[in-house]
Amino acid sequence: MKYPRAVPIAIFLAILAITGLSVFAIEKGESQRERAALDDAAQSVAAAIDRRGHTSASYLRAGAALAASVEYVDLPLFRRFVYELRLDADTRGAEGIGWAEALTPREVASYEARIGDQMSRTIEITPAPDPGAQLLVPVTFLEPDTERNRRAFAYDMYSEPARRMAMDEAARSVRPVASAPIVLVQEGGSDEPGFLIYMPVFEDYGSGRRLKGFVFSPFNARDFLLNAVEMSGARQISVSLYDLRIDQDTLLATVGDAGPSFMLARENVEIANRPFALEIRAAHRAALSPLSMATLLFGLAVASLLMLLARLITQQAIEDENALERFAQQVSIRDSLTRELNHRVKNTLANVLSIISLTRRRTSDLDEFANGLEGRIRAISATHALLTNSEWGTTPIRAVIEVEVAPYSKEHSAAVRMSGPDLELAPNDALSLGLAIHELSTNAAKFGALSDDSGSVEVSWELSDEGLAIVHWIESGGPTVASQRKPGFGTDLIEKIVAHELRHPVDLEFHEDGVRCTLRVPIRERGDFQLRGNLEV
């Protein structure tokens, strides 16, 4: 059939326009999702900083209440107070909690003698008081008592303008107040910025009251920000903390790296009644999303196909082309299945031969030989039976390993030793582990520690902090293993397919004294691999 020359081009352009609109809609949705995720991360970090500031302020209020209730705050009392606070993860990022007594110049000598006696050391306030100074606020105690914190002892914080301004505001408002950015005395020469939070303490004096001192907490800005980001749970973002407003001169700290292409969000936060600003960056895709790319390629393919269909003389040519493509795919699939089948058959034959050989070494009676041979061959199918018996629920890791190594265990000996805690595996993870143990057992029976009477295998497992079962396979006493060897299909199966299924790397090493393998298997809750209606995924 003949068609007007413009028809194929019109069809192509129409499909291309529809594809372009689809890609635009998908990309817009992806951008909105990324923006929503960034806004959520920004709010989470801001909430974590706000929570962190309120927590620190609460501890300082408690310290101020204690200091106001006693005549003098001595070292044992202050240490007991800090210990009983039982500071948790919310206080990470702080240098500690301290007490700074307010002094007049004529009280300096008695103060240095009194505090020196308590600390069994010579105390001298630094920097030396100015002749016109009316008030000194030296660091009296600072817990925890570390080498870093000892650098701040007896430092007159009231002599420094930023600290003095924060203390004056705290005394005026009688509430916790954060200072402007400063460099902590603890930094010991470093210029890394930080800040302090002060809570004033007053005592009755005549008909009024006077300032007794300050309970305070020093913060390294970067440690404080890093702790807040960890508390928020946000991942793959960069967060910058600014004093008062976002400006290069007011930058306190930055954690994380969003890369060269990023999206930006900003949040205002308040720490101890002082405003701060946050700038959060998240990596932004520089290319189309996978769904957009697939839609674009699919649209181009459809448009091209329709244009070709309008121009082809007969449908037979297209059918022949498709038939050839299908034939090539079938040939590829057949080759893969044949290779897999050959591997399985060879493994099965090797397993049977190994079982016969191992059984024959341990038996002298024909009936005993037949019974032992039958029991070991049955063990090969036991992994699948385990999953069937558990109705495809969780399966003990010990049971999976036992049924896979059972055909190669030597009776009345310790050829295979197993140890580890009671852990349960999801069905897919159990099958993957069973496949790996099967390949390791087959290799050991063919060439390794289970190929003669002198060899042995130790299988142990443990639970890691990341929620993984770390399984160790160690062979010893068998034939010497060649250090240079060409990887076989079993090696590829463990290092690629099993590692992919378990979503964690597999360490497989061929030492001269035996094969060593370490597998990492996720320990998942039942809800992680089941849908409603008890359908497993």
DSSP collapsed to 3 states, 493-518: HHHHHHHHHHCCCCEEEEECCEEEEE
Locate all alpha helices (DSSP H) within 137-270, ordered by sequence: 147-150, 161-173, 221-232
Structure token pair of residue 162: 């930023």
Tell me the three state secondary structure of residue 323: helix
The pLDDT value given to residue 405: 83
pLDDT at 343: 57
Per-residue pLDDT tens over the stretch 304-317: 887 777 666 444 54
Of the candidates 279, 310, 306, 523, which has an alpha carbon nearest to the alpha carbon of residue 424? 523
What number is the average pLDDT over the span 42-59?
90
**Residue of higher predicted confidence among 172 and 120:** 172
Give the model's confidence band at 368: pLDDT under 50 very low, under 70 low, under 90 confident, else very high: low
Phi, psi of 57 (to 5 degrees): -60, -35
Which tokens hold the place of 99? Answer: 């007490």
How would you class 228 by CB atoms within 10 Å of its CB: exposed for 0-12, middle for 13-18, buried for 19 or more?
A: buried
Q: What is the pLDDT of residue 490?
A: 64
Q: Is 322 or 115 the better-scoring residue by pLDDT?
A: 115
Lowest mean pLDDT among 120-134, 319-333, 353-367: 353-367
* Burial of 392 from C-beta contacts in 10 A (0-12 / 13-18 / 19+): middle
For 505-516, what is each residue's pLDDT tens digit?
889 888 888 889
Q: Provide mean pLDDT across the span 111-134.
A: 88
Phi, psi of 317 (to 5 degrees): -60, -40
Q: What does the pLDDT read at residue 375? A: 47
Question: What is the share, in percent, of the chain residues with pLDDT greater than 90?
Answer: 28
Rounded Cα distance, 142 and 75, in Å: 10
At residue 237, the 3 state secondary structure works out as strand
Calpha distance 17→518 (Å, rounded): 53
Burial of 281 (0-12, 13-18, 19+ CB in 10 A): buried
Query: What pLDDT, on the 0 to 100 scale, is given for residue 157?
Result: 94
Helices (H), 363-447: 366-379, 382-389, 397-405, 427-446
Beta-carbon contacts of 440 under 8 Å, excluding residues fewer than 6 positions away, are 473, 494, 515, 517
Tell how strand 97-101 and strand 139-143 pair up.
Answer: antiparallel
Average pLDDT over residues 294-308: 81
At 442-488, the pLDDT tens digits run 788 878 888 877 888 999 999 998 889 999 999 888 888 776 666 66
- Report the range of poorest mean pLDDT among 159-163, 332-336, 525-529: 525-529
pLDDT tens for 308-352 read 776 664 445 446 667 778 888 888 867 765 774 575 456 556 545
Q: In the predicted model, is pLDDT for residue 361 greater than 60?
A: no
> Helix, strand, or coil here: 60?
helix
Once rounded to an integer, what is the mean pLDDT over residues 174-181? 94
What local confidence, expressed as pLDDT, does residue 536 receive?
Answer: 41
Domains of the chain, each with CATH number or no CATH: 35-283 (3.30.450.350), 362-522 (3.30.565.10)
Q: What is the pLDDT of residues 193-243, one digit of tens each?
A: 999 999 999 988 777 789 999 999 999 999 999 888 888 877 778 999 999
What's the CA gap between 19 and 304, in Å, rounded?
12
Quote the pLDDT of residue 5.
63
| β-strands 177-178, 194-205 pairing | antiparallel
The percentage of the chain sitting over the pLDDT mark of 70, rounded to a whole number, equals: 80
pLDDT for res 378: 58
How far is residue 475's CA from residue 450's CA, in Å, rounded to a whole number?
8
Mean pLDDT, residues 287-293 taken together: 79
Q: For the whole prediction, is pTM greater than 0.75?
A: no
**ω before 487 within 30° of 0 (cis)?**
no
Name, of 102-116, 333-347, 392-406, the range with top average pLDDT.
102-116
**pLDDT for 352:** 58
Mean pLDDT of the chain: 81
What pLDDT does 443 receive?
Answer: 83
R_g of the chain computed on alpha carbons:
36
The per-residue pLDDT for 183 is: 92
Higher pLDDT, 226 or 377: 226
Q: Torsion-angle region of residue 214: left (phi > 0), alpha (psi -120 to 50) or beta?
A: beta
Question: What does the alpha-carbon distance between residue 401 and residue 438 come to, in Å, rounded to a whole number?
Answer: 9
- The DSSP code for 136 is B
